[in-house]
Amino acid sequence: ISPIERISKNEKGIYQTMPEILFIRDTQKEIAEKYKIGFYDSFSALGGAGQNDILYQNGFMQPDKTHLTRKGGEFFAEVIYSDFFTHYQKFNGIVEETHKKNLAQLKKDKNKEVNFVSKAYFYFFMIVWIMATLLTRFPEYKIGFLAIVSFYFYATWNFYALGIILASTIIDFFCGLKIYQEQQAGRKGTGYLVLSLVSNLSMLFFFKYCDFVVGLLNVIQINGNPISIPLLNLILPVGISFYTFQTLSYTIDIWRKKLIPEIKIIRFAQYVAFFPQLVAGPIVRATEFLPGLKKRGEHFNLKYVKFSSGVILILIGVVKKILADRLAFGIIDGVYANPDMYSSVEILAAIYAYGIQIFFDFSGYSDIAIGSAKILGYHLTLNFN
């Protein structure tokens, strides 16, 4: 595999491909031809002369325009894999499989999540707000509409995991009613609380820790033979921790007699899947969200002050998210990928920048979530100060 391009300034201060790289590439080619070794031309695969400047502009190359960022490394790996896979399939005469792979990738790229800092979210939210405003006089329709669009929002992140959040919603709605019925009959209803805990935490454990536990077990040897349990390579459903603990707070608060269960599943579904806080919080307790809906189906009548403060919160959140990304691309990724290239001061700056990035990323998301909910007439608890 040939080296990728490296560029340096010439006597006139203009960046150009280093002649040493071209010499190495040509030498490798000659040796490969002489000894009949497979030769992969990385230099051409990434675009040829001048490629590093383009890669840098897209965040794939560090400021020195010589070393790849982590994002660039992943891109380079994908280029190599795709080329090898395509040629191997052609070698085996299976061109159709290559075509199917390309179509599958296109389909995957098309089904992108509705990310908070994207045009897709802006259009999505505008449609939701207009429809929710029109349905204000019909609370049940408004709640139903918000529940449906919230599940749609989640499906754009994890379509296959939609069944998991629906199952969690149905189980806890049922358990909440049963716990209350048991209490009315003079019993505690602990059995249904246990059912809620076991079912929810089992799903969370399965997706979050199954492969981790299997990996630990595979290290164990019995009579000199290692245990060989295949990994499931599970993809963790987005937001599973957040909505799991939200639904559990519902059944636990009913069991502790702090909350009367919701009798309409569509209202409970809206609470579980409410899209502003679904993917990354803030976690909202059932006692803070459900009782406030009352007959109107919202927490408060939307007035100018609430609307404007919601817009300002969203804008602040967007700025924080952009700053977090800038810190990642500008400072953090480069230092963390190749710390040996940097001085102690630069490494220390990257460590502090990483802490700031995490703060901006999470608090920015929370700001957008709380602001979006405000514009829709709902109050989300501030839990990131």
Cβ neighbours around 99 below 10 Å, total: 11
8 A C-beta contact, residue 362 and residue 368: no
Nearest to 243 by CA among 298, 149, 171: 171
Three-state secondary structure call for residue 301: coil
pLDDT at site 99: 54
pLDDT digits (tens, 9 = 90+) for 111-122: 455 677 778 888
Confidence of residue 40 (pLDDT cuts 50, 70, 90): confident
pLDDT at site 351: 93
Confidence of residue 149 (pLDDT cuts 50, 70, 90): very high
pLDDT at site 7: 79
Average pLDDT over residues 141-151: 92
pLDDT at site 95: 55
Confidence of residue 334 (pLDDT cuts 50, 70, 90): confident
- State how far the alpha carbon of 89 is from the alpha carbons of 86, 94, 130, in Å: 5, 5, 50
pLDDT digits (tens, 9 = 90+) for 154-169: 888 778 788 899 999 9
Confidence of residue 228 (pLDDT cuts 50, 70, 90): confident
Q: pTM higher than 0.75 for the full model? A: no
8 A C-beta contact, residue 236 and residue 271: no
Cβ neighbours around 253 below 10 Å, total: 19
pLDDT at site 181: 93
8 A C-beta contact, residue 302 and residue 143: no
More confident residue, 176 or 106: 176
pLDDT at site 108: 52
Start-to-end CA span in the chain (Å): 50
Confidence of residue 221 (pLDDT cuts 50, 70, 90): confident
8 A C-beta contact, residue 26 and residue 17: no
Dist. CA 345–CA 326, nearest whole Å: 19
- State how far the alpha carbon of 80 is from the alpha carbons of 7, 67, 72, 249, in Å: 21, 17, 12, 48
pLDDT at site 147: 92
Dist. CA 226–CA 313, nearest whole Å: 54
Does the pLDDT of residue 203 top 80, yes or no?
Answer: yes
Map 146-198 to HEC letters. Answer: HHHHHHHHHHHHCCCCHHHHHHHHHHHHHHHHHHHHHHHCCCCCHHHHHHHHH
pLDDT digits (tens, 9 = 90+) for 75-89: 888 888 888 877 777
More confident residue, 198 or 53: 198
The count of residues in the chain is 385
Confidence of residue 176 (pLDDT cuts 50, 70, 90): very high
Highest average pLDDT, of 26-40, 63-77, 217-231, 294-308, comes from 26-40
Q: What are the φ and ψ backbone dihedral angles of 343, each rounded to 5 degrees?
A: -80, 170
pLDDT digits (tens, 9 = 90+) for 7-30: 777 777 777 888 888 899 999 999
Confidence of residue 110 (pLDDT cuts 50, 70, 90): very low
pLDDT digits (tens, 9 = 90+) for 341-359: 788 898 999 999 999 999 9
More confident residue, 234 or 272: 272
CA–CA–CA angle 121, 147, 316 (5° rounding): 35
Highest average pLDDT, of 40-49, 221-230, 331-340, 370-379, comes from 370-379
More confident residue, 16 or 130: 130
Q: By CB neighbour count within 10 A (0-12 exposed, 13-18 middle, 19+ buried), where does 237 fall? A: buried
